[in-house]
Amino acid sequence: MNEPEKALDFRWIGDVPSPSYVIDLGLLAENLAVLDGVQKAAGVKILLALKCFAAFSTFPLLRGVLSGVCASGLFEARLGREEFGGEVHAGAPAFREEEFGELLSYCHTVTFNSFAQWERYRGRAAGKVHCGIRVNPEHSEVKTAIYDPCGPFSRLGVTRKNFRPDLLEGISGLHFHTLCELDSDSLERTLSAFEEKFGHLLPRMEWVNMGGGHHITRPGYDIERLVRVLRGFSARHPHLALYLEPGEAVALNAGFLVASVLDIVENGMAIAILDTSAAAHMPDVLEMPYRPAVIGAGTPGEHLHTYRLAGMTCLAGDVMGDYSFKRPLAVGDRIVFTDMAIYSMVKNNTFNGIGLPSIVLRRADGSLSEIRRFSYEDFRNRLS
């Protein structure tokens, strides 16, 4: 992942707390320009998926381009309404009875995961918000099973076999979410499956939400094909409003996690223990799993000095990966992990009582603003 390394002067890493998430507003603006181009060329609305990126200090920049947010529950919906504005769309595998009334007060659109949920809440939702049903086209493009919404026995979305056309009164749209970090060819194939199974229902609809997982701002993503596919769908169904809700594409490669070396131990290889944690501060490294890129580092053996970078929790597998460096690491050296704005910040935790990384904004002029520094109280107040 060389793009961030080329785009920035990293001399600033000594000026931020360690550990800290650094969100680069200049890189965020570059992503927004790409997304805005897609909105205008394809005639679609793009929403921010808060489940991926919810740093509300950046919302003044984002709301100038994006049409709103999509939320997975009550707290995200409230954050979207209070901090972002615009359209607030909500959808979840199931809604909690005691939260639903408040959820409605924040939303523009609510998508139900099953007809049982729709029957339960339709009397409260119909006529107050736009209501939709999530469908499952039963077409898998995602190779990692834990992230495949269309895998066997998926709980996400209604299949064609289980669809209830007799319950469509009050439903104005269909939603599908089938992708994860994929290109526009995957969307094109998914749309074929969607139209084959649910196309006969589209004349009765007002909108279609094509979910997230569109890696639009990734270098090499086929944007021309995306626009062509979306415009083709609109030509076949000109009455429909179209939505995309990518999360990663908004903040892809626009964030970093800055950490420091605390110790170096030897056990068959050199192991650098950092003041951060894969388990606590970047959980997807272990869940996906994947090896995050590090500024200035290569693959094992590529440079002269190879180290395993590891976290400071008790989990034996709290390891980011093996990396090589041009010079030996020393206690106090800074390590910069790339692409850490997405999912890391919303999924982090305080396992072992480890403090959360600070949050820093880097502005287009290079100035730094520490937005949040977490304390013992943040850890304590999550407990009882």
Which distant-in-sequence residues (6+ apart) come within 8 Å of 158 by Cβ? Answer: 113, 114, 115, 133, 134, 135, 136, 164
Rounded to whole angstroms, the Cα distance separating 141 from 153 reads 16
pTM, full prediction: 0.95
Distance CA 341, CA 362 (A): 12
Tens of pLDDT, residue by residue over 77-116, are 999 999 999 999 999 999 999 999 999 999 999 999 999 9
Instruction: State the pLDDT at residue 231.
Output: 98
Per-residue model confidence (pLDDT) at position 272: 98
pLDDT tens digits for range 323-367: 999 999 999 999 999 999 999 999 999 999 999 999 999 999 999
* Residue 378 confidence (pLDDT) above 60: yes
Beta strand ranges found along the chain (DSSP E): 20-24, 45-49, 68-71, 87-92, 109-112, 130-134, 173-175, 207-209, 241-244, 255-266, 270-274, 305-310, 319-325, 334-338, 358-362, 368-372
Q: At 8, is the pLDDT very low, low, confident or very high (cuts 50, 70, 90)?
A: low
* pLDDT given for residue 193 in this prediction: 98
Q: Per-residue pLDDT for 3 more than 80?
A: no
Cβ neighbourhood burial of 57 (10 Å; 0-12, 13-18, 19+) = middle
> Over the stretch 276-316, which tens digit does the pLDDT of each residue have?
999 999 999 999 999 999 999 999 999 999 999 999 999 99
Where residue 9 falls among pLDDT bands split at 50, 70, 90? confident
52-78 pLDDT tens trace: 999 999 999 999 999 999 999 999 999
Query: What confidence score (pLDDT) does residue 10 get?
Result: 86
Task: Give me the domains of the chain, ranges plus CATH numbers.
Answer: 3-22+254-380 (2.40.37.10), 43-251 (3.20.20.10)
pLDDT at 35 over 90: yes
Residue among 137, 229, 154 nearest 187 (CA): 229
Give the up-direction half-sphere exposure of residue 67: CA atoms within 13 A in the CB hemisphere. Answer: 21
Check if the beta carbon of residue 168 is closer than 8 Å to that of residue 204: yes
Predicted pLDDT of residue 2: 41
Which pLDDT belongs to residue 123?
Answer: 97
Q: What is the C-alpha to C-alpha distance for residues 274 and 228, in angstroms, rounded to an integer?
A: 46
pLDDT tens readout for residues 134-183 = 999 999 999 999 999 999 999 999 999 999 999 999 999 999 999 999 99
State the pLDDT at residue 320: 98
Query: Is the predicted pLDDT of residue 4 greater than 50, yes or no?
Result: no
Residue range 184-210: average pLDDT? 98
Query: What digits encode the pLDDT tens for the residues 212-271?
Result: 999 999 999 999 999 999 999 999 999 999 999 999 999 999 999 999 999 999 999 999
- Residue 174 exposure: Cα atoms within 13 Å on the Cβ side: 25
